Amino acid sequence: MSGDEMIVHPDGDVLAEATAARLLTRVVDAQAARGVASVVLTGGRTGIGVLERVRDSAARSAVDWSAVNLFWGDERFLPDGDGERNETQARRALLDHLPLDPERVHPMAPSDGRFGTDAEAAAGHYAEVLRTLAGADSDTAVPHFDVFMLGVGEEGHTASLFPDTPYVREEERTVVGVRDCPKPPPTRISLTLPAIGAASEVWLMTTGSGKAEAVSRAMAGADPVDIPAAGARGRDRTLWLLDRDAAKGAAVAD
Ligand SMILES: O=C(O)[C@H](O)[C@@H](O)[C@H](O)[C@H](O)COP(=O)(O)O
């Protein structure tokens, strides 16, 4: 567990650019230390914007992309290639432009794949993928994540964990099928708060005044059942990456 740190950028463009630079540096550092880096991607405008800035950065060639493991923190349970899938958006924004090792890219199943429309089975399979990659000696059921990127919703959701749902209360499973989501599409797959909490660094990234209340409540230590983003904490570091509007009213809790 770690205390929160807040970094406020002037606007969303600067936030995306600076976070892309931060991500590239973190990946280079992880590769220098361990040979590989593992990053968990998020959906949402802010997260995809960061990936676009990585794509456009000259510094992207500092990374050995063949030694980067990529995961998703959540997925919109839609057919393969659907433009609303987080995977599709991430591939278009960045992944299609990189010399990645396909074996190291771990998307969640689509709704027309081997599990059909059974989101719970697809979630169970992703949990198995994570457990296998964690290895037998790991004290967690998920592999080492260097950076876990997350967006934040106006009512405080993060990944596909929405307030006052069984999914945000989940304490055992690392991945859940999520039904009846208030943000479309209604069916999703999401890592849970315990899985997020196994990451070295959690980066909560958001912009705009519509997010300010959720951000300030999360940083003030709200109950994660009410404000799920309040429960997203990294082992070593929890970083709030905000623009000025989203940071209005936020203060780092003691
Ligand atoms: O797939 C998704 O919808 C998400 O992963 C979700 O948690 C998102 O990150 C937030 O809703 C913020 O989205 P914006 O950055 O677009 O506000």
* In the predicted structure, residue 137 carries a pLDDT above the cut 80: no
How many A from CA of 153 to the centre of ligand 1? 6
* Ligand 1 nearest-atom number relative to CA 211: 17
pTM: 0.97
Residue 138: exposure state from Cβ atoms within 10 A (0-12, 13-18, ≥19): middle
Average pLDDT over residues 153-161: 98
How many A from CA of 45 to the centre of ligand 1? 7
Residue 159 CB–ligand 1 contact under 6 Å: yes
* Ligand 1 nearest-atom number relative to CA 47: 15
Residue 190 CB–ligand 1 contact under 6 Å: no
How many A from CA of 104 to the centre of ligand 1? 24
Residue 210: what are its φ and ψ, rounded to 5°?
Answer: -65, -20
Residue 12 CB–ligand 1 contact under 6 Å: no
User: Could you please report the per-residue DSSP string of 163-204?
Assistant: TTSTTTT--S-SEEEE-S-SSSSS-EEEE-HHHHTTSSEEEE
Whether ipTM tops 0.95, in short, is yes
- The model's pLDDT over 57-93, given as tens digits with 9 standing for 90+, comes to 999 999 999 999 999 999 999 999 999 999 999 999 9
Q: What pLDDT score does 58 carry?
A: 97
Domain boundaries defined on the chain: 4-235
Mutate to test the pocket of ligand 1, among 152, 168, 209 (most ligand atoms within 8 A of CB): 152
- The model's pLDDT over 183-192, given as tens digits with 9 standing for 90+, comes to 999 999 999 9
Q: What pLDDT score does 253 carry?
A: 61
* Ligand 1 nearest-atom number relative to CA 205: 15
First-to-last alpha carbon distance for the chain, in angstroms, is: 13
* Ligand 1 nearest-atom number relative to CA 208: 17
Q: What pLDDT score does 254 carry?
A: 55
CB of 236 within 8 A of CB of 183?
Answer: no
Q: Which CATH number fits domain 4-235: 3.40.50.1360, 3.40.50.300, 3.40.1360.10, 3.40.50.970?
A: 3.40.50.1360
